[in-house]
């Protein structure tokens, strides 16, 4: 198992300027960083991000592709804010806005590993959930952290935010990163904008959209 991935060092706020770049760069950069939720009892639920996907404004698979709407407003705002959307009638997914203000782009957080409050995460996900799948998938991640639409627009770089990005100094080398096509998208199905930690089993399994065109 990759050293350090399941342990936790001293935490500090994640710098906003590292989120202002192109979405694929930010998606790569967010691997190994921490998503922290302040719980009502004062504790922190800390999750190591192990899988991400980039969505650019000129990307037909992106919600921002058809322009600025009420739903996608946060994607066009300043970097480092949550874009939380509802899908398939029952699931929430959380993104981190990136690229400069005025450009609609974000990184979908697809999977993580809980480093603290694991019992609480398991309780939210259901006791039947398998260990490897606790936060392996974008809707499982929000479910385990108790996130929904009310968390849209949160500034993840504000030190006192109830949901925030942090770093504990873990450095993910390029050799430890696997890159490939995104999961379940019909448009731009072969663009390699999904990033994950290689050799970490707690990620979603790749599935191609059933109606995506055949691979070139």
Partner DNA sequence: CGCCGGATGTCCT
Partner DNA sequence: GGACATCCGGCGC
Q: CA-CA distance, 216 to 87, in Å (whole number)? A: 29
Q: Is 209 helix (H, G, I), strand (E, B) or coil?
A: coil
Provide the mask over 22-61, with x wherever binding to DNA is found by CB under 7 A and - wherever it is not. Answer: -------------------------------x-x-----x
**What CA–CA distance (Å, rounded) separates 144 from 103?**
30
CA distance 4 to 44: 19
Interface with DNA, residue 208, by CB under 7 A: no
122 near DNA, rule: CB under 7 A: no
- 69 lies in the binding site for DNA (CB under 7 A): yes
Count of CB atoms situated within 10 Å of the CB of 66? 10
* Residue 75 φ/ψ, nearest 5 degrees: -60, -30
Piece of 2-10, 24-32, 70-78, 151-159 that binds DNA (CB under 7 A): 70-78
Asked whether position 188 contacts DNA by CB under 7 A, the answer is no
186 binds DNA, rule: CB under 7 A? yes
Are 114 and 144 contacting, i.e. CB atoms less than 8 angstroms apart?
yes
Residues forming contacts to DNA in the complex (CB under 7 A) are: 53, 55, 61-64, 66, 69-72, 75, 83, 85-91, 93, 95, 106, 108, 125-126, 128-129, 133, 137-141, 143, 182-187, 204-205, 209, 211
């Amino acid at each position: 198992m990759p050293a350090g991935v399941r342990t936790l060092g001293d935490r500090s706020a994640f710098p906003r300027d590292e989120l202002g770049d192109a979405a694929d760069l930010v998606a790569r950069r967010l691997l190994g960083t921490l998503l922290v939720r302040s719980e009502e009892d004062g504790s922190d639920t800390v999750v190591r991000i192990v899988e991400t996907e980039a969505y650019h404004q000129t990307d037909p698979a992106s919600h921002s592709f058809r322009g600025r709407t009420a739903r996608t407003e946060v994607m066009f705002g300043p970097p480092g804010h949550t874009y939380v959307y509802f899908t398939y009638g029952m699931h929430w997914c959380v993104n981190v806005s990136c690229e400069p203000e005025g450009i609609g782009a974000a990184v979908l957080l697809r999977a993580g590993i809980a480093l603290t409050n694991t019992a609480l995460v398991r309780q939210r996900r259901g006791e039947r959930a398998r260990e490897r799948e606790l936060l392996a998938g974008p809707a499982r991640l929000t479910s385990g952290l108790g996130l929904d639409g009310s968390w849209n627009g949160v500034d993840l770089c504000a030190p006192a935010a109830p949901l925030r990005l942090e770093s504990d100094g873990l450095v993910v080398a390029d050799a430890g990163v696997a890159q490939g096509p995104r999961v379940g998208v019909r448009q731009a199905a072969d663009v390699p904008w999904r990033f994950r930690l290689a050799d970490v089993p707690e990620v979603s399994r790749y599935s191609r959209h059933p109606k995506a065109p055949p691979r070139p």
